[in-house]
Amino acid sequence: MSSPKNGKRPASSTDSKGMARREVLKSAGALAAGAVLPAAPAVWSPAKAQARQETLLIVSESGPNNLDIHGRGTNVPGYEVSWNSYDRLISHEMKTLPNGTQYYDREKFKMELADDMNVGDMSATFKLRKDAKFQDGTPVTAKDVKWSLDRAVSVGGFPTFQMAAGSLTKAEQFVVVDDHTVRVDFLKKDRLTIPDLAVIVPCVLNSGLVKKNATAEDPWGLEYTKQNTAGSGAYKVTKWTPGAEIILERNEDWKLGPKPKVRRIVWRMAPSAGNRRALLERGDADISYELPNKDFVELRDAGKLNIVSTPFSNGIQYLGMNVTKPPFDNLKVRQAVAYAIPYQKIMDAALFGLGKPMFGAPAEKATEAIWPQAHKFKTDIAKAKQLMAEAGHPNGFDTTLSFDLGFATINEPLCVLTQESLAQIGIRAEINKIPGANWRTELNKKVLPLYTNVFSGWLDYPEYFFIWCYSGKNSIFNTMSYVSKEMDGFIDAAGTAASAGDNATYQKNVKGFVDQAFTDIPRIPLFQPLSTVAMQKNVSGYQYWFHRRLDYRALVKG
């Protein structure tokens, strides 16, 4: 099987503003401190107008804690840096949704570092582009590809588990055929293998550069790549002040697609949502994707900005419980919590309608072979109190309710509403705000008793979500420490049936693992979030990707 080369990027829309914003491009410190920046004086010149058109200013609530997707505890903003700074063998084509949004096509692949892909019965062979170079000018070779894939399956943690989700687990699977040809051998037939090569983790690093900065204690050079990019991607990091600002410049020698229109990305961390909104409304910031939903709704209705909302592919915001320790090891306690959650209040007061409910399905509704889908719990305080009494907790108990402070605009009101509702059934939950830079590390310790989080599966298949979130086989995102032989059996059987093309058996097992999840309820789905982005009218080319972060290569500023 072979795939086409990169196509053309979306054309730009134009809207000339011609206003300099010198202060905004200088004031990382003010933004990080939460100050609203004063408007810059209007001093026009052709050079400044050109510089502004070629610079995109992004403001967000939080930023990366690591520049390397293979790093320990790399957070979601770190995905964005890796996606734009590194290339992979293959990627996805785009398709257009009915509302006009560009959306990745999970069924269609395009070439990145590979010039051609041929998939056989038990292997895939990739011919590399001969003009591809790393950002220091070093040619990209098959040895770099193998070393990078070896690294991904060996460093442990999230990247290694991600590779394993596509049955990529051993360095021996990656074979250098010649300088510009690499073969990936399959351990078994798995329909997730090729899609898994198109996610962020199997990126290709400059192996020579990283090896020079590795040590005996750190053979994969993770300390070096935490703070330095070593890729061939369309953008390279030129400055990073953790928690305040990151600047990326266009790689002028990048040849894997049309030359990006935006030359410089200035990404600022502005913890105050009010400041982010003010910067957008003044025209000082070009893009923000972390605002309270109330602000997004008001900005949308005002009509001065482009607001794009897209459901998270294969994604759920949920309330998770540690099922290995009291009191959440008790099924009736978990059911009580599921009946106590103020679902509709969360939809109204925290989301302002920008989300799809995942609760309150009709009692008679049959389970479907799809994911996400709504469970049948709904707010019923009387039922919740009854279950608490049956569980031996008529007077309730004390616990903590944790959330990622890096995404506080949704998480905080959600937790406050949940705390108030749990109090009605005697559960006294102290809210625990964990800084975004530490969230992934704390979550993966699997010791939080009660917490809210989002999981969005990069490969949009039901069994992929459940491999990550419900499998008892050491999945790092099964943060409830939930283990069920029945669940593991359904997940395994679904994957086998899908790869064999046995749709009837596949659907039976998908329904089986969904029913098991809702019966044991170790985590309670709340809603399918929407990825909402606010952009100035003169910014175009936005694409929705499975990782929900910006692809700078396609963006255009008029």
**Per-residue pLDDT at 476:** 85
Residues 174 and 191 in one domain: yes
Quick check: is 7 in a domain?
no
Residues 205 and 119 in one domain: yes
- Answer for the pair 21, 285: CB distance below 8 angstroms, yes or no: no
Cα dihedral across residues 345, 351, 354, 357: positive or negative = negative
User: How many Å apart are CA 365 and CA 213, to the nearest integer?
Assistant: 58
Residues 228 and 341 in one domain: no
Q: What is the pLDDT of residues 502-534, one digit of tens each?
A: 999 999 999 999 999 999 999 999 999 999 999
**Per-residue pLDDT at 46:** 64
Residues 524 and 483 in one domain: yes
**Per-residue pLDDT at 41:** 44
Q: What is the pLDDT of residues 535-556, one digit of tens each?
A: 999 999 999 999 999 999 999 9
Quick check: is 493 in a domain?
yes
Q: Which of 178, 210, 242 is the last residue of a domain?
A: 210
Q: What percent of the chain has pLDDT over 70?
A: 91
**Per-residue pLDDT at 358:** 98
Quick check: is 74 in a domain?
yes
Q: Which two tokens stand for residue 38?
A: 């004063």
Q: Which of 210, 242, 263 is the last residue of a domain?
A: 210
**Is the pLDDT reported for residue 9 higher than 60?**
no
User: How many Å apart are CA 194 and CA 554, to the nearest integer?
Assistant: 24
Domain encompassing residue 72: 22-83+218-308+531-557
Residues 252 and 166 in one domain: no
Quick check: is 91 in a domain?
no
**Per-residue pLDDT at 47:** 64
**Is the pLDDT reported for residue 184 higher than 80?**
yes
Average pLDDT, the chain: 92
* Number of folded domains that form the chain: 3
H helix intervals, 184-272:
193-196, 207-212, 222-227
Quick check: is 92 in a domain?
no
Q: What is the CATH number of the domain that holds 147?
A: 3.90.76.10
Q: What is the pLDDT of residues 312-333, one digit of tens each?
A: 999 999 999 999 999 999 999 9
Q: How confident is the model at residue 53 (pLDDT cuts 50, 70, 90)?
A: confident
Q: What are phi and psi of 327, to 5 degrees?
A: -90, -5
Q: What is the pLDDT of residues 55-102, one digit of tens each?
A: 999 999 999 999 999 999 999 999 999 999 999 999 999 999 999 999
Q: Which of 181, 210, 239 is the last residue of a domain?
A: 210
Q: How confident is the model at residue 434 (pLDDT cuts 50, 70, 90)?
A: very high
Residue 289's closest CA among 533, 78, 64, 62? 533
User: How many Å apart are CA 224 and CA 220, to the nearest integer?
Assistant: 9
Cα-based angle 358, 159, 329 (whole degrees, multiple of 5): 45
Quick check: is 419 in a domain?
yes
CB burial readout 87-109, b (16+ within 10 A) else e = bbbbbbebeeeeeebbbbebeeb
Q: Which two tokens stand for residue 327?
A: 């009191």
**Per-residue pLDDT at 44:** 52
Quick check: is 295 in a domain?
yes
**Per-residue pLDDT at 475:** 79
Residues 75 and 138 in one domain: no
Q: How confident is the model at residue 13 (pLDDT cuts 50, 70, 90)?
A: very low
Residues 205 and 245 in one domain: no
Q: How confident is the model at residue 48 (pLDDT cuts 50, 70, 90)?
A: low
Q: How confident is the model at residue 35 (pLDDT cuts 50, 70, 90)?
A: very low
Q: What is the CATH number of the domain that holds 247?
A: 3.40.190.10
Residues 204 and 271 in one domain: no
Quick check: is 14 in a domain?
no
Residues 198 and 229 in one domain: no
**Per-residue pLDDT at 32:** 38
18: left (phi over 0), alpha (psi -120 to 50) or beta: left
**Is the pLDDT reported for residue 21 higher than 80?**
no
**Is the pLDDT reported for residue 185 higher than 60?**
yes
Residues 427 and 286 in one domain: no
Q: What is the CATH number of the domain that holds 459?
A: 3.10.105.10
Q: What percent of the chain has pLDDT over 90?
A: 87
Residues 522 and 538 in one domain: no
Which helix (H) or strand (E) is 429 found in, with range? strand 427-434
Mean pLDDT of 450-460: 96
Residues 523 and 535 in one domain: no
Q: What is the pLDDT of residues 415-427, one digit of tens each?
A: 999 999 999 999 9
Q: How confident is the model at residue 6 (pLDDT cuts 50, 70, 90)?
A: very low
